[in-house]
Structure 1
Amino acid sequence: MYRNELRRLFPIKESVFHHLGRYLFQPANPVWNIIERFYRTHLINSDEKVGLQIRLFREEPIPFEDVYNHIMACSEKENLLPKLDHSNHDNSTPIVDKRTSILVLSLSSEFYERIKAMYYEKSTVSGEMVAVYQPTHEREQDSQAKFHNQKALAEMILLSYCDKIITTATSTFGYVAHGLSGSKPWVLRTLNRLMKEPGPACVRSMSVEPCLHSPPILECKANVSIDPTEVEPYLRQCDDAPPMGLKLYDLV
């Protein structure tokens, strides 16, 4: 019924969440205050901002060291984090006029501490200055606490301001951030999935849109289930949550 109207509103299918989110998703002043204070204090003078969102799921417990190595493998392959100078020479690396900020978002502080120490102990190959920040580390998610949710929303928006965004597969936190940003993130594949399907540590998402994990089941009049991707060419399975998840893609 509304197909023609929706086509006129969203000629670019991948822009649906981006435009609706930026138009309708207006946080209250306390949240904007958190965002403004943090951005002005830590990020405003950065030449490049790299956002790293790490979500650990209780149902898939994985040792910290394995997850950390997984992140580093992704960064190394895709050239996402500034490279460290591992040479043993005593000559100092020339400093260049570039400042990179790494924003780590996680309920845990361990990843932030490790990455911060990494850039404290060694210089970068390029000579650029690197600063590592983490706004909060709440340890546990508490969806019933208002201030906890306000801080989470503020961090989603801060992540959306980054030039490069690395997110955790199937994380709705990451979906919102890169959807608001309008950029395609690098998605960390789950280690459990990698054991079943060997491949790269992370992949560049094919779409800006978030993934709908549990889409409604379409049935025709004959009461036969229909694969939506066979009906609408701009619907495809999510690259991080197969086989049930669906997301919008632009036709190439």
Structure 2
Amino acid sequence: MKDINRVLDLGSSKLTVLLSLSGFMILVLLVIEDVDILHWRALWVWKAMPSEQTRISAGSIDPSCVSRSSQHLYRANKVADISPTLLESWKRYGELHRKCAPSNWTEVLEESSHVNSSCKFMIYVETHEGLGNRILSLLSALLYSMITDRVLMIDSRKEVGKILCEPFQGSSWLLPADFPYGEPWFSSLWFPEIVKHAPDLGQAIDKNFSVPIVHLHLAHVQRETDKLFFCNEFQEPLSHVRTLAWSSNQYFVSSFFKVPWMWRKLVTLFPGSRLDIFAQLSSLAIAPANSIWSLVSRFYNSYLSCSKSRVGVQIRTHSRPDLASFDPLVNQIVSRCLTSHHLLPNLSSSSSPSLIEFEKQQQQQHQVDVSVFVASLQGKYYETLRDEFLQNGTASEELVSFHSLSSEGAEWHNLHQASLALAEMWLLSFAHHLATSEFSTFGYISRGLARTRPWMLKIRGTELHPEGDVCYLSQSSEPCTHFPQQPDCSSARNISTEHREWIKRHLGGCQDQRGGLQLLNL
């Protein structure tokens, strides 16, 4: 009673202030409870997570790469389980990386060098395709380097090394500034022209692999001798070459599983049938640098975090002269896909919706129902979708908000655009539901990060049919290998029954590319 009387004695004005402050604090606590990705809370949650999810930073946030440990807190889907054998292999690979960083690259690359070293190297050559292609190529090179004990290094002058965190503690995967780019081995090795001096695989075979370096040409167009890389019989002699250079624009992980020697290695690293290999590798090796992650985090918390449902839409047209032009048919296809498969509520058919009921509903919830993030070179797609829902409203009277980070209008292949593209890939991966474009490696990255099967928008080419089936559910979260190579290998005719059965169960054709190859999961 004394406590109650003491409160009453404050007077009516003081009591009003006290109650107001109490109500405000309760509201703040409720908001914090609902928006569980505020940065300070993310740090606390990460430290409290079980060991499975603290596998990289051992329970602490690495200030040099915040995204590596905190990005999983933003995703709607479960964090990819990483196989114990892959984790152990990753640990050993990090130790190898720290051990083998050379102090004199010229000596390593010299043809006449007789330095006795057990260290072998892989130089990732960053090509001029879109960022999606480059990341897929990088992960392919990384996985091959891991199963062949090669130290992967990348060009420090290019974009990928600037937008991604260093993956190995105590060692850098960036080639040093004094790397001999101008020497004969590399003067034309996509730095910036096609290689002239480093022997390719065919030349290495002719020389019985008695060469210090081999340039692997693994783009979508390959010569017959380049394709021999996917023959089992050439992997063992290739292992004796100290340095390989990898230039590609493809995700060749699915093709690796067709090579008997690689298959035996890979099924140990990735046991079972859950073949979300991209998700596992990217969680270990591919993380946005802090400068990009700060943009991702601010955008997410400002525009996407408070909605009940998040939808990611990635619009990229292919097989047409202008990849960034606006096509009304594309817009119709996107809109119909999103509503017909219930990613978004249907638009209202009433010309005069019940404003009174709508106002009552919004006063009660104070929340956006669905937030849509649109990623496209052409900003008019975002604007048209936004205006369509803004002007008509929804039949269910749900609130839908649309957001976009950039609309560059064309692919410029510069650091600024690569940074924006990486941020958009990660923002798309935070969605509960995804709709991505056929044949788009940009979309492949987002769905692989999200570990989800997106709805695939049928907007490739110029012959579009918005009245038919406008999209379909992807069969896998794994990227498609658009142009898998089919070399004439003697080993391909002698694979084991077990390997052959594994291929039948786990490899299939791509839905969005005839002749493509894809690991099947989910």
TM over 0.5: yes
5+ long unaligned stretches in structure 1: none
Structure with larger Rg: 2
User: Hey, what's the Cα distance between the residues in 2 that align with 1:5 and 1:82?
Assistant: 47
User: Hey, what's the Cα distance between the residues in 2 that align with 1:229 and 1:201?
Assistant: 35
Moved more, 70-79 or 17-26: 70-79
Structure 1 residues 73 and 123: CA distance shift in structure 2, 3 A: closer
The partner residue of 2:341 within 72, 78, 95 is 78
Contact 2:478-2:521 within 8 A present in 1 as well:
no
User: Hey, what's the Cα distance between the residues in 2 that align with 1:90 and 1:19?
Assistant: 48
Q: How many residues are treated as equivalent by the alignment?
A: 246
Counterpart residue type for residue 485 of structure 2:
P
Counterpart residue type for residue 140 of structure 1:
A
**Structure 1 residue 192: deviation in Å?**
4.2
2:276 is equivalent to residue 15 of structure 1: yes
Structure 1 residues 229 and 161: CA distance shift in structure 2, 3 A: farther
**Structure 1 residue 9: deviation in Å?**
2.5
2:401 aligns to what? 131
2:427 is equivalent to residue 154 of structure 1: no
Counterpart residue type for residue 248 of structure 1:
L
1:165 aligns to what? 434
The partner residue of 1:203 within 450, 472, 476 is 472
Contact 2:439-2:512 within 8 A present in 1 as well:
yes
CA root-mean-square deviation: 2.8
Counterpart residue type for residue 203 of structure 1:
Y
Structure 1 residues 48 and 223: CA distance shift in structure 2, 3 A: closer
Contact 2:276-2:521 within 8 A present in 1 as well:
no
Question: CA deviation digits over 1:32-55, x for unaligned, max 9?
Answer: 111011111111111101111000
**Structure 1 residue 147: deviation in Å?**
1.4
Contact 1:47-1:100 within 8 A present in 2 as well:
yes
2:509 aligns to what? 237
2:391 is equivalent to residue 121 of structure 1: yes
Contact 2:484-2:517 within 8 A present in 1 as well:
yes
Contact 1:229-1:235 within 8 A present in 2 as well:
no
User: Hey, what's the Cα distance between the residues in 2 that align with 1:230 and 1:215?
Assistant: 19
Query: Which structure features the higher share of strand residues?
Result: 1
Contact 2:347-2:394 within 8 A present in 1 as well:
yes
**2:436 is paired with a residue of what secondary structure?**
strand
Moved more, 21-30 or 90-99: 90-99
Structure 1 residues 248 and 139: CA distance shift in structure 2, 3 A: same
Counterpart residue type for residue 311 of structure 2:
V
2:330 is equivalent to residue 41 of structure 1: no
Question: CA deviation digits over 1:129-150, x for unaligned, max 9?
Answer: 111001100011111x111101
Counterpart residue type for residue 151 of structure 1:
L
1:216 aligns to what? 485
User: Hey, what's the Cα distance between the residues in 1 that align with 2:464 and 2:409?
Assistant: 27
2:381 aligns to what? 111
Contact 2:310-2:370 within 8 A present in 1 as well:
yes
TM-score by length of 2: 0.44
**Structure 1 residue 223: deviation in Å?**
9.1
Contact 1:229-1:237 within 8 A present in 2 as well:
no
1:67 aligns to what? 330
